[in-house]
Amino acid sequence: MDYFLLRAKKTYFMAEHILEIFDLTDQGEGLTKTQQGQVVFVPYSVPGDLVKAEIFPLKKNIWQAENIEIIEKSENRQSIPCPYFYNSLIELMHADSQKNFPEKSGCGGCQVQALNYADLILFKENILRSQLERIALLNLTEIDFKPIIGMRNPWHYRNNVQLKVQYNTITKQFEFGFFAQKSNDVVAHQKCLISQTENSIICQAIKQKLSNAQPELQKFLMEFWDELNIRTGENSKEFLVAFSFTKPNNSILKTKFKSVWQEIFDAVNSKLSEFSENHTLRSLWLLDQKNSSNDIHVLGEEYFTEIVLGKHFQIHPRSFFQVNTKQTEVMFRTIRKFVINALRCTNNSPSVSLNKLQNHSLNQQEDSKLPENTATLYDLFCGTGTIGIILSDLFKTIKGVESFSSSVRNANQNARLNSINNAEYFLDKAENWLNKQQISEQDFIIVDPPRKGLDKTLIKTLNQSKASNMIYISCHPGTLSRDLKLLKDIWQIKTIQPIDMFPWTMHIETVVLMSRKG
């Protein structure tokens, strides 16, 4: 829609309302209704807030609030700990007639910070419940729906960040940050409360070295350098840094400015060693954002290593690995518990509680009570093989499939690294590959799809397979609900466990255990 028409439409409809916020949207905005029943999105508000705001229509029956003033704060509202989330509610909410919509906003790295954490995760759990009931048409009173598992400390959890890069013409230095909410403007920051503490040390070392770089390199970086990627082994204390470019000639970059990359590599390691002796920059890369075949490894190893539940995983710059290491360990223990209990149920053995699985990485004492298993685990969307490797002692054979060749190579490397001899990983689309497998009743399937969920062809194959048990790992309640609606006639949904993998956002991870009916 033309900007001036949108402005005219807003001006015509603008009306001031007193609104009480009662919920959150899946984007983290406050949700309320007018006395006339119009649904209104209210940015930066939290449930329990009483606000005065002007509203204008976005689409039929959906309205947007702006020029927001808090009349009465929610008792669940907390002070914003991050100075970049927003500086002033009134400043950010006033319309800026010089800019197109959406209006300027704070850092988009988080979606909610004004609501205390305990209440935030409950609202996220309720969003999951609502979508499962509304979309999948599940009766959750008939399912073991467990309370969401939150974090003891929900800060500094991200082990993988893609920082946007911009050049400050005043300070003559590069700056790093995230896009603003609903914008491509970069909000630069000195530190980030959801990233690893060491990231600010790495960024500062890189900034200092590049401030003295040759004019030719600086000019190239200002034009083509888009992201600084930092990946962290939270348990191993190893790091990988990647400079990500558009339209690069990475081979020339590597050779022509080899001394610069060496200086950066050494400077980062020097600063990390001052922070802690066992912290190490293990790998440095130059990446082509549009074509991964042009990626160039520059210095160190081609990977860094992370340790999860006693297993070692080599992770390359583009390898998928969950962004929250502590909650990944919680999720893997949950999956392991579900698998053990499903296998025991099949063999009429007593189940085991999650608490008994917390103290030992592989829980060999509990697992030894399992009968010898001749089953195969089919690990779909296996990524770097983490789940299959964690579960490898529970099955005779692990077969994983992934559609990215680098992930398949990485998964097979990780199996060898951990002396796992019963796991093999294949390159194919899950829906094509599973249809070719000879699956028996004793076998187990795990699916861990991307946000878009499962292909309908794959759902049909899952419904026709003979496997007795299946686990669905989801990062999107909407697509999970859509898929469960198509699976529930064949599969009994037994247990649902939400996990807060992404604090201060509205994203939620869910693990679902199912068994074949009949």
Contacts of residue 474, Cβ cutoff 8 Å, sequence gap at least 6: 449, 453, 480, 483, 509, 510, 512
- Starting at the edge strand found earlier in the chain, the sheet holding 491-499 runs 144-145, 491-499, 509-516, 469-474, 444-447, 376-380, 397-402, 423-427
pLDDT of residue 366: 52
Beta-ladder partners of 145: 496
- pLDDT for residue 93 is more than 70: no
pLDDT class for 277, splitting at 50, 70, 90?
Answer: confident
What is the rounded CA–CA span in Å between residue 240 and residue 251? 19
For residues 158 and 194, the answer to whether their CB atoms sit within 8 Å is: yes
The strand pairing partners of 230, in sequence order, are: 161, 241
**58-67, 127-136, 287-296, 457-466: which range is least confident on average?**
58-67
Cβ contacts of 225 within 8 Å, gap of 6 or more: 165, 174, 243, 244, 245
Choose the most confident range, by mean pLDDT, from 63-67, 175-179, 493-497.
493-497
**Does position 99 have pLDDT exceeding 50, yes or no?**
no
Average pLDDT rounded to a whole number, residues 17-27: 92
Average pLDDT score over the chain: 88
Worst-scoring range by mean pLDDT, 13-22, 137-146, 255-264, 399-408?
Answer: 13-22
Secondary structure of residue 455 in the 3-state scheme: coil
Going by C-alpha positions, the residue among 65, 52, 64, 56 that lies closest to residue 20 is 52
What's the pLDDT at 434? 94
The dihedral through the CA atoms of 345, 350, 356, 362 has a sign that is negative
Does residue 186 register a pLDDT over 60?
A: yes
What the chain holds in terms of domains, given with CATH numbers, is 3-107 (2.40.50.140), 119-152+324-516 (3.40.50.150), 160-315 (2.40.50.1070)
Q: For residue 260, what are its two tokens?
A: 């610069």
Model pLDDT, residue 266: 97
pLDDT of residue 106: 83
Residue, of 334 and 364, whose pLDDT is higher = 334
324: pLDDT strictly greater than 80 = yes
Residue 220 has pLDDT above 50, yes or no: yes
Reduce the DSSP state of residue 297 to 3 states and report it. Answer: strand
Specify the residue for token string 């028409």: 5
- Burial, 182: exposed, middle or buried (Cβ in 10 Å; 0-12, 13-18, 19+)? middle
Task: Please identify which residue in the block is written with the tokens 């878009």.
Answer: 452
Q: Which amino acid is at 173?
A: Q
DSSP 326-353: HHHHHHHHHHHHHHHHHHHHHTT-----
Q: 334 near 510, Cβ under 8 Å? A: no
Residue 104: the pLDDT is 53
150 and 117 Cβ atoms separated by less than 8 Å: yes
Residues 6 or more apart whose Cβ sits within 8 Å of residue 324: 151, 157, 158, 159, 501, 502, 503
Pick from 262, 260, 259: which is nearest to 281 by CA?
262
Residue 360: CB atoms within 10 Å: 13
